[in-house]
Structure 1
Amino acid sequence: MKTRKLGAGGPEVSAIGLGGMSFTGFFGPTNKAESFKCLDAARDHGITFLDTAEMYGKGLSEELIGEYQQVRGHNFKIATKGGIVIGGKRGENDNSETALRRALEGSLKRLRVEHVELYYIHRRDWSIEIEDVAVTLAKFKSEGKIGGFGFSEIAPSSLRRAHAVHQVTAVQNEYSLWTRYPELGMLQTCRELDVTFVPFSPLARGMLTNSYPEPAKFPETDFRKNMPRFLEPNFSANCKLISAFRDFARSRGWSTTEVALAWVLDQGEHLVPIPGTRSAAHLKEWVGASEINF
């Protein structure tokens, strides 16, 4: 697995990370044994960077990763997130120092570590200026609790404001061949400021993989169940568009999954995508993408 730098002067991490949302049933039922096999596969294929969050299963993803590291005696570089009020109203966020400190301490406890490499604000609290949030996060860094900090789903202008207070390590947004809006300024701003851009859902929530999802079979716990892209007539139209991409990959001897992820990697050395899966077999389908050169 090739590596890339995490932020300005940051550590080297695997060019492809692993998202931990799937470990908690967001894409359907799973269990600890299956998740451990997936983490074993990640370790064995050179993935060193994991992404999780306090809100993923209300801490269950972090707990599983913490248990895995203790049981297996293997440590990943971990990014986690806070700032969403767990159990609160939809869209209720709290970026105050008190709330963020409580969230971070909870994450560290569940992960069974004293330090995480990267800590994100999962969602902005619009009652608090982003500059003040950056001050809080810089304090956590000076205390040794985090290696760096970042933000999930913010605008380029907000990134510049936070960055003016303290070097931001990373920004996380959805980005793939079918979700391209970060190209309207965020990718460029991250490159300019030496901030790592971390694309989540780089495989289009399963659409850019070796087999199409089957929305009719999505369990009630699968959050894609009511997403417009997976509802008719949109879903059939999307499948038709993607079939040409599948043919392109097949003609070159690559899998759809590998090419989709390789394309994301090709958009700049400052990108570190974090595809998520709960399946070791699915991980093995895309882990070789960093070796593809267009």
Structure 2
Amino acid sequence: MKQRKLGQDGPIVSAVGYGAMSFTDFYGPADDANAPRVLDACLEMGITHLDTSNAYGMGRSETVIGDWLRARGGASPFTIATKVGITRDPEHRFNNAPEHLAEQLDASLKRLGVEAIDLYYVHRRDTRHEIEAVTETMAGFVKAGKIKAIGYSEIAPSSLRRAHAVHPIAAVQSEYSLSTRAPELGLKQACAEIGASLVAFSPVGRALLTDRPHSLERAQKLPFLTNNPRFMEPNISSNLAYNAKFCALAADMGVAAATLAIAWVLHQGDEVIAIPGTRHITHLEEVAKGGALDLSAEDIVRIEAVLPLGWAHGDRYSAAQWVGPERYC
């Protein structure tokens, strides 16, 4: 497993982390009893970075991780990131007010059962609060010893630079994969410029870059994908046709499609860390192998020949799902 520095001053983590949204019902019913097996397997495979949020199952993901840590009875073997800022308030879906951030931080610390959170993200920006003021609040948590580093999720390069001028930003989380390459239009460069990690979520394209992509029938049973443009007709049929070509290439190269997709993401720069999520050990093994696979220039040419820039049909989000992330291109 390749190792990467998380932010300007460490710590060193596995290049492939684990996205713990999978411990909730986001992509269908989750089984809490399976979570410990997945966390055990992560350690066995050399995965040392966990990514969660207080919004994942409204604390459920953090609780599952905390219960596993308490059962071990020792220091956490993982570098843990969690997030804050998404609420259930229909009038204000995002809240970056200082009192809200502080209250939710204490709740996350309690659920996780740790003294300090390694990386604390603002999950979504609340435009009622300037990013400089929000960063000052987060910097106060660092000074208080409650968090070790600050991150932002789904922000624009301009916002990243504004925040970093107030306090070092260790990481920015954004969707990044062979099917979603928008971070290449400024965000990846801004992260490299200031020394922040670009933490790529959905690095296998919500299964479009795997050997077991979702069918239209399956996608319609998953709440997030039901109205997602890439998983609706006519887009899904076109995307599955591209998937078939990518899977054939991966097989010709002797690896699983998910392995190849992860290796491609990590090849894009030393600042990139991938956080795929899954409930299945077999799939976890596939993505973990991507963290050890080196690709040649010829390999990259072959991959981008079957999945050329802009190949994906449909937007990555529906209009409703686009509320919150900052568009910058």
TM over 0.5: yes
TM band (smaller chain) = over 0.9
Shift of 1:227: 0.8
Structure 1 residues 265 and 73: alpha-carbon distance in aligned structure 2, compared to 1, 3 A threshold: farther
Distance 2:18 2:72 in 1: 17
The 8 Å contact of residues 26 and 222 in structure 1, kept in 2 or not, is answered as yes
Alignment length (residue pairs): 293
Q: Give a deviation string over 1:77-121, Cα, whole Å, max 9, x none.
A: 110000122x21176211111110001111011111111100000
Question: What residue in structure 2 maps to residue 146 of structure 1?
Answer: 147
Answer yes or no: is 1:79 the counterpart of 2:81: yes
CA–CA separation in structure 1 for the residues paired with 2:91 and 2:223: 18
Which amino acid in 2 is paired with 1:128? H
CA distance in 1 between counterparts of 2:103 and 2:113 reads 15
Moved more, 256-265 or 226-235: 226-235
Q: Which moved more, 1:129-138 or 1:87-96?
A: 87-96
Question: 1:211 deviation in Å?
Answer: 1.4
Deviates more, 1:216-225 or 1:35-44: 216-225
Describe the shift of the 1:271–1:101 C-alpha distance in structure 2 as closer, same or farther (beyond 3 A): same
Contact 2:85/2:125, CA 8 A, preserved across alignment: yes
Structure 2 counterpart of 1:57, one-letter code: G
2:210 is aligned with 1:209: yes
- Separation in 2, partners of 1:91, 1:213: 33
Which residue in 1 is equivalent to 2:301?
Answer: none
| 2:322 alignment counterpart | none
In 1: Cα distance, 2:114 partner to 2:174 partner? 26
Taking the TM superposition and a 5 Å limit, the aligned residue runs for 1:94-113 are: 94-113=95-114
Gaps of 5+ in 2: 296-329
State the AA in 1 paired with 2:166.
V
Task: Using the TM superposition, give the Cα deviation of residue 221 of structure 1 relative to its aligned residue in structure 2, in angstroms.
Answer: 5.0
TM-score (norm: length of structure 1)? 0.96
Q: Distance in 1 between matches of 2:211 and 2:252?
A: 14
- Residues 90 and 57 of structure 1: is their aligned pair in 2 closer, same or farther, counting only changes over 3 Å? farther
Larger RCO: 1 or 2 (CA < 8 Å, sep 6+) = 1
RMSD: 1.3
Name the CA distance, whole Å, in 2 between partners of 1:138 and 1:53: 19
Matches within 5 A, 1:8-23: 8-23=8-23
Mapped to 1, the partners of 2:200 and 2:91 lie a distance apart of 24
C-alpha distance in 2, partners of 1:187/1:91?
30
- 8 Å contact 2:219–2:231 — kept in the other structure? no
**What percentage of aligned pairs have identical amino acids?**
48
List alignment gaps of at least 5 residues for structure 1: none
Shift of 1:260: 0.3
